[in-house]
Amino acid sequence: MEELVKKGSLRLRWAYDHMPVLQELDRRFRKEQPLAGVKIGMALHTEAKTGMLAVTLANAGARVALASCNPLSTDDSVAEALRAEYGLEVHARKGESEKEYYANLNSVLNIFPDYVIDDGADLIATAHTKRRDALKNIKGGNEETTTGVARLKAMAAEGRLEFPLMDVNDAKMKYLFDNRYGTGQSAFDGWMNATNLMVAGKRMVVAGYGWCGKGVAMRAKGLGAIVTVTEVDPVKAIEARMDGFEVKPMREAVRSAEILMTATGCRDVVAEDDFKNMRDGCVIGNVGHFDNEINKKQLKAMSKSVRRVRDFIDEYALGDGRRLYLVAEGRLMNLAAGQGHPAEIMDTSFSTQALGVVYLAEHHGEMGNRVYPVPDEIDDEVARIKLKQWGVRIDRLSKEQYAYIHSWQEGTRCAS
């Protein structure tokens, strides 16, 4: 146990050393105590970067309880270190069963949080259904990912959302970098860790050309894969094509795929008819939030046998002799088989989270039960601190330039 705590502490420290924006907020929060007396319930991937967000919120005065938002994404060493060295309440274990997963979400709700920070909306959905006793106390929440925001917007549209919700996923300082560059890099961290195989020269299919899919396709191309994109949105399909990728329907694309990665937030993106047409040896994985993008029930039903051939790889042997390989049980592989996004990426995502929860604490009384965008000032503040830490300076508009780009009258457009 001592060894585990030591390992976790070092991991937390390493992450924090690469999170300068969060460090600056931490220095400010320690002095100003913007969350004094507040209770925060979190359901995020319980690993080092998340740990440092939790510590920062605790340093700002909050009592924090943390569970994981995925049964496979917990770093047990970090969980132990957060308990032992920072005194945080952590309810998470790598490989927890579905029953334990929900029990852990319930343990977080048992502190009767004032604010919740969720990733995928399971914590918030649980509070709105089975844990309405805890719901009464919740004054607001933040949601981290695309899939969670989609669920919460659906709840709000039905009039079922019972507190204001900040859509952190769609903050510019989140999705532009986290979903694209974070997923783009960490997907391959997970893939390589799981497979120890080559990407260069392989035919790879990326399902979905949203922010995550774009990042994955870009990095796959950079690694030398021959990339085909599948889409359902005609505009995104054009974007993929103009970025230089083949675009095909999944049923056709799978015929030549040696690597397949889903990044859609949709269900059954790869299913029975696709498995029938895949070539022997195809490695299939997912970076979308839930493990329903690849229909593993159908894959199992079609298989003669299933066996674990490496830590994060299951071999499905089909009746006709082909073998298909599923990474990390179809769960988001960058966290389940890798170490998640780089610390520098989570620095800006989690600084946005931290400022978002302080904003909620200050403004929840004026807010309705809706999904709110993160205010531009928060994006700008995070971006400014990030640039300052990098030592990057940028230009400022002069008064005349500001007036010019905000004017419309004729005669203001000619050179003088």
Shortest Å distance, C-beta 90 to ligand NAD: 20
What is the closest distance, in whole angstroms, from the C-beta atom of residue 187 to ligand NAD in the complex? 7
Q: How far apart are CA 341 and CA 44, in angstroms?
A: 13
Say if residues 312 and 286 touch (Cβ distance below 8 Å). no
Give min distance, CB of 44 to ligand NAD, in A.
Answer: 11
Backbone dihedral region of 92: left (phi > 0), alpha (psi from -120 to 50 degrees) or beta?
Answer: beta
Structure tokens at 318: 């089909």
DSSP 91-102: E--TT--HHHHH
CB nearer to ligand NAD: pick between 138 and 260:
260
Give Cα 213 to chain centroid, integer Å.
13
Burial environment of residue 255 by CB neighbours within 10 A (0 to 12, 13 to 18, 19 or more): middle
Query: Which residues lie near ligand NAD (CB under 6 A)?
Result: 145-147, 175, 178-179, 183, 207-213, 230-233, 236, 263-266, 269, 287-289, 332, 334, 341
What the block records as the tokens of 264 is 């859609």
**Helix-strand-coil split of the chain, %, nearest 5:** 50, 15, 35
> Taking the complex as a whole, how short is the minimal distance between the CB of residue 56 and ligand NAD, in angstroms?
20
What's the min distance (Å) between Cβ of 356 and ligand NAD?
16
CB of 222 to ligand NAD, least distance (A): 18
Output the CA torsion 358→114→88→62 (10° steps). 40
